[in-house]
Amino acid sequence: MGLRLQASFWIALSAGLCALVLQLFIEAPPVDFADSTHKTQLFSLLLLALISGFFAGWLLGPILGQPGAGGLLLGLIGAFLATILTGAVAGGVVGAVRVFLRDGFDPVGMFGEALAEGGMTSFVVTRLLIGSLPMLCLWFVLFLGVHLLMYRARRILVSQQEWKL
């Protein structure tokens, strides 16, 4: 499995875990799992976080796992950008789907709503991350875990390439 695909996978799992923790424990009131509406909303949120996290990981994942303190700082910046991009993609999809369900296929309206909703969602995700200490701690632990996994994957890839020579 390539580095980009591994990074996408781990970032998608991290985004899904953060969305689940945020929904169940931090922002929302307790979820009644007997109601099928809550199950559908939670599943939709989780699926959207996983897909948008995979997309953000595909774009920004190769930044993670670089050696040294500079690599850790670069990875921290990349993880923060991936978090913002994940929120923007998820919000953009929600905005476009909302316009599609309300007005039918209207590309201009869908694009405008996707941009507006994506920008607002990335702002809200950043505010929640900075404003909530448990979420910030969870995000940082997940970042370190993904960074170390990618560092290890890079070392294995380099050692396999040296072995072939």
User: pLDDT tens across 122-142, in order?
Assistant: 677 777 777 778 778 888 888
What gap in Å lies between CA 55 and CA 87, rounded to an integer?
Answer: 11
For residues 154 and 97, which has the higher predicted lDDT (pLDDT)?
154
Report residue 154's pLDDT band, with 50, 70 and 90 as the boundaries: confident
Q: How far apart are CA 35 and CA 42, in angstroms?
A: 11
The better pLDDT of the pair 30, 143 is held by 143
Residue 71: pLDDT above 80? yes
pLDDT at 31 exceeding the cut of 60? no
In terms of DSSP H, where are the helices of the chain? 3-21, 36-60, 68-103, 107-131, 133-164
How sure is the predictor about 59, in pLDDT bands with cuts at 50, 70 and 90? Answer: confident
Nearest to 82 by CA among 15, 26, 140, 136: 15
Question: Count of alpha carbons within 13 Å of 159, Cβ hemisphere only?
Answer: 6
Average pLDDT over residues 23-41: 63
* Structure confidence at residue 37 (pLDDT): 66
Domain count, the chain: 1
Confidence of residue 147 (pLDDT cuts 50, 70, 90): confident
The residue with greater pLDDT, 116 or 24, is: 116
| CB neighbourhood size of 19 (10 A) | 23
- Evaluate whether 19 touches 51 at the Cβ level (below 8 Å): no
106-115 pLDDT per residue, tens: 777 777 777 7
* CA–CA gap between residue 81 and residue 95 (Å, rounded): 21
Domain extent at residue 36: 3-164
* Higher per-residue pLDDT: 50 or 26: 50
How far is residue 116 CA from its own chain's centroid?
Answer: 19
